[in-house]
Amino acid sequence: MGRLVVVSNRVPSSKERVQPAGGLTVGLKDAIKGEPSLWFGWSGNAQGKDDEPRPVIEEQGGTTYATIDLTPAQHKGFYQGFSNGILWPVCHYRLALMSYSREELQTYLEVNALFARVLKPLLKPDDVIWVQDYQLFTLGEALRELGVRNRIGFFLHIPFPPPGLFGALPGAEQLLRAIGRYDVIGMQTEEDARNINASFEPLGIAVRAGVFPIGIDPQSFLRDAISGGRSAQVKRFDQAVGDRPLIIGVDRLDYSKGLPERFHGFDRLLRRFPQHRGKVSFLQVAPVSRGEVQQYRRLRRELDELAGRINGDWAEMDWTPLRYITRAVPRKVLASVHRRANIGLVTPLRDGMNLVAKEYVAAQDPEDPGVLVLSRFAGAAPELPDALLVNPYDPDEIAEALDQALGMSLSERKRRWSRMHEAVTSTTAATWARDFLQVLRGAPEAA
């Protein structure tokens, strides 16, 4: 069997390789374990020089890592600009947040072509190549144009919007034709696959996207949830909250995650259901992300103001309704707070999958599980119909679901949780990678 070659925009740092943080790294780490593999991408350094970069090659844990630096202009146009300022909002159904620039599309195409040029000499004839995510829509085509004939697969971690919406993006057709050059295309949900396939159809693109939902490593998250409870930080937190009910939210500070609407929902809970005042508290962890993009700075200001107002309106001398943290919290601490929390509140306006929902389920105590309140627009929703599903745009619906969850009987909580747990343990990071690679390895070779 040939090597597995993974390509992602960011290659995990040497620390992340040992202790993978997100679902992508966990799933891929599992996939590359025990077989010869190469992982190629950007180093994370945006101070590169203008001449053609030479990859830095490192071996770690049986895998070869090859990385290049980007120049400040490439980082700005390709990563901040076209990927995060244009493709991210469009794929999350937010056309109005896109700030289109033709120059940034150009830089995007150039960086994808650069990735292809640097990767090509590292390839062996029987390698299979697995490209990750929206930053690299056109990498497969660029490789083909250089004569690479290996099998090349592509997985999209974020949603794919309906044809009319994606079609409004200038350059959409060019991107779709490039995506159509991959041998296997994987999406998170049926809805995403339907959307991209419907975009392919009028262009006569023959390849069809399949569905490969990503998951977590539930055993390892549960271990962290149990062992994390021994840390001093968690003990202090337990003391502060006491035995009062706790709601937890964990998201990168991103406008796709529905944070203002969620804060309004919590405010509405306290307004409409006075029995919860002075009792329930809501911990929102939202590490700042993409702070250099204007839309993200604006969102942060909005949340600062909302959090201040909610606490000002409802706090008591001895009770803080909302705890809001914009720094990252250590994984074990997060996992054990998930286990302690009575409600996991996950209300993105759109999300490819949302691993936090699965992590919340994995962390629960089977004898006294909490309730997941989940957006119907998260990719995880079709897999978790036993969550309380809400429309995240409606703060009243969020408030009603929170009230229902706070009053739910132990037997109903157990019944809902055990079905969700079944889903989270049967579709994992490992099954995601295994299933995708099985299809990719079975695909016919490029003509």
Tell me the C-alpha distance between 256 and 88, whole Å: 9
Q: Near ligand GDG by CB under 6 A, which window of 18-26, 75-83, 145-153, 303-311?
A: 18-26
Let me know if 157 is a catalytic residue: yes
Select 345 or 355, whichever has its Cβ closest to ligand GDG. Answer: 355
Options 228, 344, 352, 370; binder of ligand GDG; rule CB under 6 A: 352
Options 172, 226, 328, 443; binder of ligand GDG; rule CB under 6 A: 328
x-marked contacts with ligand GDG along 229-268 as a string, rule CB under 6 A: ---------------------x-x----------------
Structure tokens at 127: 């390698």
Options 43, 354, 375, 427; binder of ligand GDG; rule CB under 6 A: 354
Is residue 158 part of the contact set for ligand GDG (CB under 6 A)?
yes
Residues 35-94 that bind ligand GDG (CB under 6 A): none
Select 142 or 250, whichever has its Cβ closest to ligand GDG. Answer: 250
Tell me the C-alpha distance between 134 and 159, whole Å: 10
Let me know if 351 is a catalytic residue: yes
Residues 271-290 that bind ligand GDG (CB under 6 A): 285, 287
Select 118 or 329, whichever has its Cβ closest to ligand GDG. Answer: 329
Q: Near ligand GDG by CB under 6 A, which window of 93-101, 143-151, 314-322, 327-335?
A: 327-335
Options 355, 372, 374, 429; binder of ligand GDG; rule CB under 6 A: 355
Options 2, 10, 16, 22; binder of ligand GDG; rule CB under 6 A: 22
Is residue 353 part of the contact set for ligand GDG (CB under 6 A)?
yes
Is residue 270 part of the contact set for ligand GDG (CB under 6 A)?
no
Least gap, CB of 188 to ligand GDG (angstroms): 7
Q: Near ligand GDG by CB under 6 A, which window of 238-246, 296-304, 329-337, 400-408?
A: 329-337
The active-site residue out of 75, 92, 157, 276 is 157
Three-state SS for the chain is: CCCEEEEEEECCCHHHHHCCCCHHHHHHHHHHCCCCEEEEEECCCCCCCCCCCCCEEEEECCEEEEEECCCHHHHHHHHHHHHHHHHHHHHCCCHHHCCCCHHHHHHHHHHHHHHHHHHHHHCCCCCEEEEECHHHCCHHHHHHHCCCCCEEEEECCCCCCCHHHHCCCCCHHHHHHHHCCCCEEEECCHHHHHHHHHHHHHHCCCCCEEECCCCCCHHHHHHHHHHHCCCHHHHHHHHHHCCCCEEEEECCECHHHCHHHHHHHHHHHHHHCHHHCCCCEEEEECCECCCCCHHHHHHHHHHHHHHHHHHHHHCECCECCEEEECCCCCHHHHHHHHHHCCEEEECCCCECCCHHHHHHHHHCCCCCCCEEEEECCECCHHHCCCCEEECCCCHHHHHHHHHHHHCCCHHHHHHHHHHHHHHHHHCCHHHHHHHHHHHHHHCCCCC
Total chain residues near ligand GDG (CB under 6 A): 24
Tell me the C-alpha distance between 417 and 122, whole Å: 47
Is residue 329 part of the contact set for ligand GDG (CB under 6 A)?
yes
Is residue 157 part of the contact set for ligand GDG (CB under 6 A)?
yes
Is residue 439 part of the contact set for ligand GDG (CB under 6 A)?
no
Is residue 23 part of the contact set for ligand GDG (CB under 6 A)?
yes
Phi, psi of 343 (to 5 degrees): -135, 135
Select 277 or 323, whichever has its Cβ closest to ligand GDG. Answer: 323
Phi, psi of 231 (to 5 degrees): -75, 150
Neighbours of 395 (CB within 10 A): 22
Least gap, CB of 195 to ligand GDG (angstroms): 15
The active-site residue out of 127, 133, 192, 351 is 351
Is residue 187 part of the contact set for ligand GDG (CB under 6 A)?
no
Tell me the C-alpha distance between 371 and 353, whole Å: 19
Least gap, CB of 409 to ligand GDG (angstroms): 29
Options 104, 127, 351, 386; binder of ligand GDG; rule CB under 6 A: 351
Q: Near ligand GDG by CB under 6 A, which window of 10-18, 20-28, 401-409, 438-446?
A: 20-28
Select 53 or 159, whichever has its Cβ closest to ligand GDG. Answer: 159
Q: Which among 383, 65, 3, 80 is positioned nearest to 214, based on CA atoms?
A: 383
Residues acting as catalytic residues: 157, 351
User: Contact residues for ligand GDG (CB under 6 A)?
Assistant: 21-24, 157-158, 214, 250, 252, 285, 287, 328-331, 334, 351-356, 359, 379
